[in-house]
Structure 1
Amino acid sequence: MENQDSQPTTATSFLQSHTARLIMVGVLTLILLLPLQLVNNLIRERELRQADVMNEITDKWGKEVYFYGPILKVPYTIFSESEIVNQMTKQVSKTRTAQTAYAYFFPEVLNNTSKVETKLLKRNNYEAVVFTTKMNFNGNYTVPDFSAKNIPEENIQWDKATILIQTENLKSIKEEIKIKLGGTTLTLEPVYNSEENPDAEGLETAFVNLNDHKDLKNLTFEFTFQYDGSSRISMVPIGKTTTSKMTSNWASPSFNGNFLPNDKSKHISAAGFEANWKILHINRPFSQSSFGSLPNLQKYAFGVDFVIPIDEYQKNERASKYGFLVIGLTFLIFFLIQSVSKIKIHIFQYSMIGLALIMFYTLLISITEHSSFRLAYIISALSVVVLISLYSVSILKNRKFPMLIAISLAALYGFIYVIIQLENYALLVGSIGLFAILAAVMFVSRKIDWTKN
């Protein structure tokens, strides 16, 4: 009889112990990761929807701008010989076939000045960065050198030279493009699916007779592009010396590509930025001419990204990543209060508190879509803190502990908001904060007797 009575007593005693309660709270925390994951999926779904809307906006306004040129394109004749053997007479006859090939020469000097005006286009709850840019180019060519390929002078078709520009986003060019080459003005016309680069769009002039330009040592050019675009401007530094100056009202530029602007002449402020590049031919791994085909040099481009640094959905996603931390620390506070005060908190009450914490993230994303992230965060955090504090009054039967819980939750949400706003120091601040939280928990729990119920 004694053994029969002791077994239920032992089981009941274990279920009421600190260890059993801690295990149940831990299991509940893991279970609550499921609805938290659903919230993360919702954020990603809304973010993908934003990307679709942004693509639709930018496709109508104009996509990213890519520029590669101007290139002097000179045709030349090459001859090939073939032998034909007469099977009856065994006589060998030779035939000579002429073919036209092309040589491409890059500028000796290429100067660019670009002014970029950006603005935000909105549709419903979504927004995208678009811009209008005016790009001025000037420079000069030197005498095309065919000696490297041993091409005779008489084989060069000087009278059929053209100026070629490889680019993308032709539909967003807003003005007719005329290039002044020496004393001649030429109009650039679109050419598609060129043999040099089938995927590229481009512009090319009509034939220009280089024999009319006596001073090929200083064949100057000058022209202007005006684009509507979005996201990025990039160009290939094909000049033997390439300089570029870009000014814009965009305050958060991201410089990309193979070459960064000069730090001493780069200025970024709330009113916009100014950046300058100077790139020499020894800085990039390609020569000033190409024979036979035009190389694809897009990977050597430099430029600027015009993007929103951290958009609202990215902030929501970063906030949701701290969901496990918020739930775990909140449960830990209630557990410590329960252990110190001997107040019993049912697992159902823990569940309600956990669901209230998850509701913070659904409130955050829904309010963010109709206001700023800061306002949405304040409203969501305040709502959850008030809800849990009022609920804890009925659970804990006093006002002292609910006040402690309200202060702790407010401090926790404030701490997470600071981390979300930081970029370079997020890890450092987060690590220091977690260390302080751990120290506080260790200090509070140091006198709890875990061997007792």
Structure 2
Amino acid sequence: MEQKRSKLVTWIQESITAKMFTVGMLILILLIPLAFVQDLIKERKYRQEDVVNEINDKWGNEIILSGPILKIPYKEIKEVKSINSETNLYDIKKEEYTHYAYFFPEELTIDTKVETKPLNRSIYKSVVFTSDIDVSGEFPQVQFELPNIQPENILWDKATIIIQTSNLKGIRNTVETQLQNNKLSMAPIYNNSVLNTIESGAITNFSEINESKTAFKFKLKINGSKAVKFIPIGKTTKASITSNWASPSFDGMFLPEDGSREITENGFKASWKVLQINRQFEQTFYNTLPDLTPFAFGANLIIPVNEYAKSERASKYGFLVIGLTFLVFLLIQLVSKIYIHPFQYVMIGLALVMYYTLLISISEHSSFLKAYLIATLAVLGLVTLYTKSILKSTKFSALIGISLLALYGFIYVIIQLEDYALLVGSIGLFTILSAIMYFSKKIDWENK
């Protein structure tokens, strides 16, 4: 029995097949703690998102602005027939209904200045902003185009101005709309639309000022976060955004005009021009005002790829790092005939897994580059010294150290790239595979 056991141990220690099988199983086993580390990174990332959303919700969320819009009530009189049970004849009654017509501007100009600043809570940071929005333009002479509306049923003296926004609680000034010589105070009203609505009081002299085009203007000071966008309700809509934020992402139905965008390390400028022909809705709506937010355009004030996203991307290469490191050890073992115990493989693998916990914990308190350097040097030093102690060879421990340094450097380059990440990654892996094929040809594979 002892003889059979010693033969089995000898076969495991000397057989190439047994060594490869053992190393492969250890790599698969180490995927379990690596998966736990990846879950930890996701958990910390979700925690950051929750804190950032809470900060943004208290300061002010995404800004979507639509307005001003003329809202004019009109009456519709319908004849309703009903059978009189006593005479069996039809009784005709007139019932009166009040509806609303919504008229959009002919010219709409929006000039926006956005000043960003960071807000911190514990170790988490969010970027918020205060925007100063100047809106001006003019309404055309209002004419009802419905044939069944009688002039006397249009309630001109009850016309109002409405402005819609997604971020009502972020407004930081008393909003007044100037319509010709009228100054109209705005107040919030309840509605079931996607955007919140503020509405002016009745424009009692609107029938007088409606004899020609009607000029308007108003100013908004709004706290917001994530994005500032506008709905192009003007027959011609011109908008511009100037900000000190250096990482905008232009989003929505329309992009800035060619040559208008300017992005530097000190901020950005961009302008848009949208014509009625460019969008799929008319200038007048009756009865109900539809949801036009899908036509919004503007800029997302995005935070560049943060530490958690980079750590998550780095951890996805964990299998590659462990697999290639174990493969180098296996090749050293096969070439040098030095026996490396499976426990020693496990210790090296756990050190490589611990790399990612070091990376995420340090990056929460420092920059990703510093965290990456510290974690790399720590694990590199640990594995190199451990390798020297088990292999008793400076040459092999130096080979392991250089291999890990090159591998972590290669992964850092891939993480920083976006457009060329796949190309560089494919070339790098092809080079690594070529090197492994070249060095493995010296191994005597007959020893099974």
TM-score under structure 2 normalisation? 0.96
**1:285 equivalent among 280, 288, 308:** 280
Corresponding position: 1:212 with 2:211: no
Question: Does structure 2 conserve the Cα–Cα contact (< 8 Å) formed by 1:243 and 1:279?
Answer: yes
**1:264 equivalent among 256, 259, 267:** 259
Corresponding position: 1:163 with 2:161: yes
Which structure 2 residues correspond to residues 39-58 of structure 1 after superposition, within 5 A? Answer: 39-58=37-56
Partner of 1:59: 57
- Of the structure 1 ranges 405-414 and 49-58, higher mean CA displacement relative to structure 2 is found in 49-58
Partner of 2:415: 420
Q: Distance in 2 between matches of 1:410 and 1:9?
A: 39
Aligned AA for 1:210?
A: F
Which structure 2 residues correspond to residues 9-88 of structure 1 after superposition, within 5 A? Answer: 9=7, 12-13=10-11, 16-88=14-86
Q: Distance in 2 between matches of 1:413 and 1:15?
A: 31
Q: Distance in 2 between matches of 1:78 and 1:351?
A: 82
How far off is 1:292 after superposition? 0.5
Partner of 2:341: 346
CA deviation profile, 1:184-243 (whole Å, cap 9, x unmatched): 11111111225xx2x532110000031120533x20101111001111111110001101
Partner of 2:373: 378
Q: Which runs of 5+ in 1 are unaligned?
A: none
Corresponding position: 1:450 with 2:448: no
How far off is 1:255 after superposition? 1.2
Count of matched residue pairs: 447
Partner of 1:249: 244
SS at match of 2:321: helix
Question: Does structure 1 conserve the Cα–Cα contact (< 8 Å) formed by 2:13 and 2:339?
Answer: no
Corresponding position: 1:435 with 2:430: yes
Partner of 1:299: 294
Which structure 2 residues correspond to residues 99-118 of structure 1 after superposition, within 5 A? Answer: 99-118=97-116
How far off is 1:10 after superposition? 7.5
Q: Distance in 1 between matches of 2:84 and 2:233?
A: 51
Q: Which runs of 5+ in 2 are unaligned?
A: none
Aligned AA for 2:84?
A: N
TM-score under structure 1 normalisation? 0.95
Partner of 2:328: 333
Aligned AA for 1:277?
A: W
Question: Does structure 2 conserve the Cα–Cα contact (< 8 Å) formed by 1:192 and 1:202?
Answer: yes
CA deviation profile, 1:71-92 (whole Å, cap 9, x unmatched): 0111111011111211221122
Distance 1:94 1:369, change over 3 A: same
**1:225 equivalent among 206, 220, 225:** 220
Question: Does structure 1 conserve the Cα–Cα contact (< 8 Å) formed by 2:81 and 2:91?
Answer: yes
Question: Does structure 1 conserve the Cα–Cα contact (< 8 Å) formed by 2:79 and 2:94?
Answer: yes
SS at match of 1:203: strand
Question: Does structure 2 conserve the Cα–Cα contact (< 8 Å) formed by 1:68 and 1:238?
Answer: yes
**2:144 equivalent among 131, 143, 146:** 146
SS at match of 1:147: coil
RMSD over aligned CA atoms reads 1.8
Q: Distance in 2 between matches of 1:140 and 1:246?
A: 21
How far off is 1:328 after superposition? 0.3
Aligned AA for 1:261?
A: P
Aligned AA for 2:70?
A: L
